[in-house]
């Protein structure tokens, strides 16, 4: 039975999907009809979805189970023929992408607020992924947003909750609900890309690692792959059980939030390799004994060594990085004579490049790395890629990193985040930067000379769509850069991100601490944006 309920409140004008879907406090999603309004707006914006398959799953955070049930009832009432749901409502973001592609689904709904904390007072989120398995492009998210403002009813089946905890098929109205193993399809894909025998030999030789699943969705994936299939000892995966509140932690794999893991890698008896992933499993952090690999360097190292893994043995068609990601990978691309594409922040911009075959690997400075195997960034994939390379080269993480810098030079790189600043002040700062930065061309700033300054705009080479105002850049004549942009994923106030990069050709002669080598550029950034005057902050909240 389909109930057509009229939305009783004003349409929700704040339902604007950001860099990765709609992300709000759980309490916002709990407002009457809020969730349903957004889901219906998504369904209304899709063309040709009747009698199609939808994939549903999330990172297991608070509200995940409730949202899955609402989505199932609404999908049934909106004419879908089949819903594939991860067991217990769980699917990591890359696994959802894998399942959408493998079963030729029309699209999927992924429930997550990524690395943001979870729990009744914390964050929830919904992203819609299209049939290629990737995040909806801007024309789709814009259509969804427009629809949220005019919608006046939604379709939902009145039916009891569906059992999503045991595998198998159920019937819901005219729709079949198929509860699938959350990890199996993903594991099969990984086995096709990497040399599991070789990695197993590495573990057998005494190589030790720790994977921190941060009580988020990757626990079951990492356990199955690392401990079951690759023979790593039980206990290799830490915080392996997904919890609704992630154990009260920020499931954000960086030096601040994964500090236990970082300490383990710096302690006595440290293992050889450490890695962590985020809430929904699309991010990764890579650590060696006493060393940290910046995501930008990781992308460059993976590009330089991809041929050592079976899935990429034939070489790379091209690479792509988001604009604020350091240009370390550009140097690898130049040497390999392949194209490098520079895109705005957000994985959705890689979709067309991957679909068209223009690029094989891509990455972002924000701990995101991936390839054409799915259409999302993929944390566990990045860890396996590193493991395969380590197994092939039989060198330590820091040896691999140093030899990379010797060969290509080093891009010192850091991101400074100012979280929870006043939104109006943040907007005014960006307006000020947009007005002043273009005029800096050819000026000397300290020991640097400005080559040019602009607000980054991107034209998609495949569909010609233009995305403007993607970040203010100051580019110096030696290739150093300062970039300013506001986050699209925060849920409180505004977050300013300042990205600073400096290239050192002769790394051996100038081996320095990252923050020291960037100190002058950081000072320049503070001055150009008038950060202290405009935000009252003297220090960033997070430095990576
Ligand atoms: C951040 C990162 C961006 C990433 C996005 C989603 O966006 O900077 O690189 O694609 O999060 O990541 P922003 O707008 O806050 O800077 V995730 O792990 O939420 O899918
Ligand atoms: Co994420």
User: What sign does the dihedral 364-212-129-317 (CA atoms) show?
Assistant: positive
Token pair recorded at residue 539: 């220090």
Distance CA 297, CA 413 (A): 9
Q: Whose C-alpha lies nearest to ligand 1, atom 18?
A: 114
Q: What percent of the chain has pLDDT over 70?
A: 97
Position 3 pLDDT exceeds 80: no
- The CB of 346 under 6 Å from ligand 1? The reply is yes
Active site residue 114: yes
**pLDDT confidence bin for 194, thresholds 50/70/90:** very high
Q: Is the pLDDT of residue 19 over 80?
A: no
Question: In CATH, which of 3.30.465.10, 3.40.50.150, 3.40.190.10, 3.40.120.10 is domain 2-182?
Answer: 3.40.120.10
Delimit the domains of the chain by residue range.
2-182, 186-408, 410-543
Ligand 1 atom with the shortest distance to the CA of 113: 19
Residue of 16, 17, 19 best suited for mutating to test ligand 1, as the one with most atoms within 8 Å of CB: 19
Residue 300 makes CB contacts below 8 A (sequence gap 6+) with 328, 329, 331, 332, 404, 408, 411
pLDDT in tens, 82-103: 999 999 999 999 999 999 999 9
The mean of the pLDDT values for the chain is 94
Report pLDDT digits (tens) over 383-406: 999 999 999 999 999 999 999 999
- Write the pLDDT tens digit of every residue in 343-390: 999 998 999 999 999 999 999 999 999 999 999 999 999 999 999 999
Share of the chain above pLDDT 90, in %: 88
Least confident of 15-19, 113-117, 135-139, 208-212: 15-19
Centroid of ligand 1 to alpha carbon of 182 (angstroms): 24
- In this structure, what DSSP letter does residue 107 have? E
Neighbours of 322 (CB within 10 A): 26
Nearest residue by C-alpha to atom 16 in ligand 1: 487
What span, in angstroms and rounded, lies between the C-alpha atoms of 494 and 425? 9
Which of the residue ranges 140-144, 194-198, 445-449 has the most confident prediction, judged by mean pLDDT? 194-198
Report which of 76, 72, 79 is spatially closest to residue 46, judged by C-alpha positions: 79
Class in CATH terms, 410-543: alpha beta
186-408 CATH fold: Alpha-D-Glucose-1,6-Bisphosphate; Chain A, domain 3 (3.40.120)
Residues in Cβ contact with 179 at an 8 Å cutoff, skipping those fewer than 6 apart? 85, 86, 87, 163, 164, 165, 166, 167, 168, 169, 170
Separation of alpha carbons 535 and 496, rounded Å: 10
Q: Residue 293 pLDDT > 90, yes or no?
A: yes
The closest-lying atom of ligand 1 relative to the alpha carbon of residue 283 is 18
User: Does residue 470 line the site of ligand 1, with CB under 6 A?
Assistant: no
From 114, 327, 480, 487, active-site residue:
114
What one-character DSSP code corresponds to residue 437?
Answer: G
Q: Which residue has the tokens 């923050």?
A: 515
Same fold, 186-408 and 410-543: no
- CA separation for the pair 63, 513 (Å, rounded): 43
Residue 390, judged by CB atoms within 10 A of its CB (0-12, 13-18, 19+), counts as buried
What is the band of 1 on the pLDDT scale with cuts at 50, 70, 90? very low
Q: What is the DSSP string of 416-434?
A: EEEEEE-HHHHHHHHHHHH
Helix spans in 49-181 (H): 64-77, 93-102, 138-148
**Residue 146, class by beta-carbon neighbours within 10 Å (0-12 exposed, 13-18 middle, 19+ buried)?**
middle
CA-347 nearest atom, ligand 1: 10
State both tokens at 158.
């009145």
Q: What is the dihedral of CA 24, 26, 32, 37, to 10 degrees?
A: 40
> Which atom of ligand 1 is least distant from the CA of 93?
20
Query: Which protein residue's CA is at the shortest distance from atom 11 of ligand 1?
Result: 489
Say how many Å lie between the CA of residue 61 and the centre of ligand 1.
18
CB 230, CB 386: distance < 8 Å: no
Q: Among residues 116, 190, 91, 106, which one has the least CA distance to residue 140?
A: 106
100-139 per-position pLDDT tens digit: 999 999 999 999 999 999 999 999 999 999 999 999 988 8
Which pLDDT value is given to residue 338? 97
Please tell me if the CB atom of residue 480 comes closer than 6 angstroms to any atom of ligand 1.
no
**Coil, strand, or helix at residue 404?**
helix
Give phi and psi for 176, each to the nearest 5: -95, 135
Query: Residue 7's pLDDT band (boundaries 50, 70, 90)?
Result: low
> Residue 20 above 80 pLDDT?
no
Q: Which two tokens stand for residue 354?
A: 């991957």
pTM, rounded to two decimals: 0.94
Q: Are 62 and 245 contacting, i.e. CB atoms less than 8 angstroms apart?
A: yes
- The answer, yes or no, to whether residue 506 has pLDDT greater than 90, is no
* Interval 410-424: pLDDT, tens: 999 999 999 999 999
Query: What are 458-503's pLDDT values in tens digits?
Result: 999 999 999 999 999 999 999 899 999 999 877 778 999 999 999 9
Where is pLDDT greater, at 335 or 505?
Answer: 335
Decide: 149 in ligand 1 pocket, CB within 6 A.
Answer: no
Residue with CA at minimum distance from ligand 1 atom 10? 346
Q: Name residues whose C-beta falls within 8 Å of residue 66's C-beta, 6 or more positions apart in sequence.
A: none
Tell me what pLDDT residue 511 has.
67
CB 134 within 8 A of CB 348: yes
Residues 220-238 have a mean pLDDT of 97
Structure tokens at 403: 């030899």
Q: In this predicted model, what pLDDT tens digit does every residue of 509-537 receive, in sequence order?
A: 666 788 889 999 999 999 999 999 999 99
Residue nearest atom 17 of ligand 1, based on CA coordinates: 114
Q: What is the sign, positive or negative, of the torsion defined by CA atoms of 82, 54, 191, 310?
A: positive
3-class state of residue 184 by DSSP: helix
């Amino acid at each position: 039975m389909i109930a057509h309920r009229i939305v009783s409140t004003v349409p929700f004008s704040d339902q604007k999907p950001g860099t990765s879907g709609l992300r709000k406090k759980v309490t916002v999603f709990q407002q009457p009809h809020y969730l349903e309004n957004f889901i219906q707006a998504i369904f209304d914006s899709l063309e040709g979805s009747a009698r199609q398959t939808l994939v549903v799953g999330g990172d297991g955070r608070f509200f995940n189970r409730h949202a899955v049930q609402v989505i199932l009832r609404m999908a049934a009432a909106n004419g879908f023929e089949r819903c594939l749901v991860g067991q217990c409502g769980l699917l990591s973001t890359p696994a959802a992408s894998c399942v959408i592609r493998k079963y030729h689904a029309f699209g999927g709904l992924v429930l997550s607020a990524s690395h943001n904390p979870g729990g009744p007072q914390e964050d929830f989120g919904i992203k819609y992924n299209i049939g290629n398995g990737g995040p909806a492009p801007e024309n789709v998210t814009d259509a969804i947003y427009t629809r949220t403002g005019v919608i006046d009813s939604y379709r939902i089946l009145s039916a009891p909750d569906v059992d999503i905890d045991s595998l198998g098929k159920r019937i819901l109205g005219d729709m079949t609900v198929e509860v699938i193993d959350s990890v199996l399809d993903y594991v099969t894909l990984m086995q096709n890309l990497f040399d599991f025998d070789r990695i197993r030999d590495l573990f057998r030789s005494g190589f030790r690692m720790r994977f921190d699943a941060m009580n988020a969705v990757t626990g079951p994936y990492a356990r199955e792959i690392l401990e079951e299939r690759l023979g790593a000892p039980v206990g290799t995966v830490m915080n392996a059980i997904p919890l609704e509140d992630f154990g009260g932690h920020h499931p954000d794999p960086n030096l601040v939030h994964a500090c236990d893991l970082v300490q383990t890698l710096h302690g006595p008896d440290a293992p050889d390799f450490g890695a962590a992933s985020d809430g929904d499993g699309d991010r990764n952090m890579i650590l060696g004994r006493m060393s940290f690999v910046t995501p930008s360097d990781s992308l460059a190292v993976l590009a330089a060594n991809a041929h050592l893994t079976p899935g990429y043995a034939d070489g790379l068609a091209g690479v792509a990085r988001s604009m604020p990601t350091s240009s370390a990978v550009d140097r690898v691309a130049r040497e390999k004579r392949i194209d490098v594409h520079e895109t705005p922040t957000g994985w959705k911009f890689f979709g067309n490049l991957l679909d068209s075959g223009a690029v094989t690997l891509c990455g972002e400075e924000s701990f995101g790395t991936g390839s054409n195997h799915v259409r999302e960034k993929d944390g566990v994939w990045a860890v396996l890629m590193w493991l395969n390379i380590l197994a092939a080269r039989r060198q330590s993480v820091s040896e691999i990193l140093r030899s990379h810098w010797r060969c290509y030079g080093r891009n010192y790189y850091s991101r400074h985040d100012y979280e929870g600043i006043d939104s109006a002040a943040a907007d005014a700062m960006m307006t000020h930067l947009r007005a002043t930065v273009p005029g800096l061309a050819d000026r000397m700033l300290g020991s640097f000379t400005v080559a040019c300054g602009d607000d980054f705009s991107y034209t998609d080479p495949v569909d010609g769509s233009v995305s403007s105002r993607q970040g203010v850049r100051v580019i110096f004549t030696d290739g150093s850069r300062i970039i300013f942009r506001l986050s699209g994923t925060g849920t409180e106030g505004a977050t300013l991100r300042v990205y600073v990069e400096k290239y050192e050709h002769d790394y051996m002669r100038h081996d320095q601490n990252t923050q020291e080598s960037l100190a002058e550029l950081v000072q320049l950034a503070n001055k150009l944006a008038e950060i202290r005057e405009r935000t009252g902050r003297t220090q960033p909240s997070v430095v990576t």
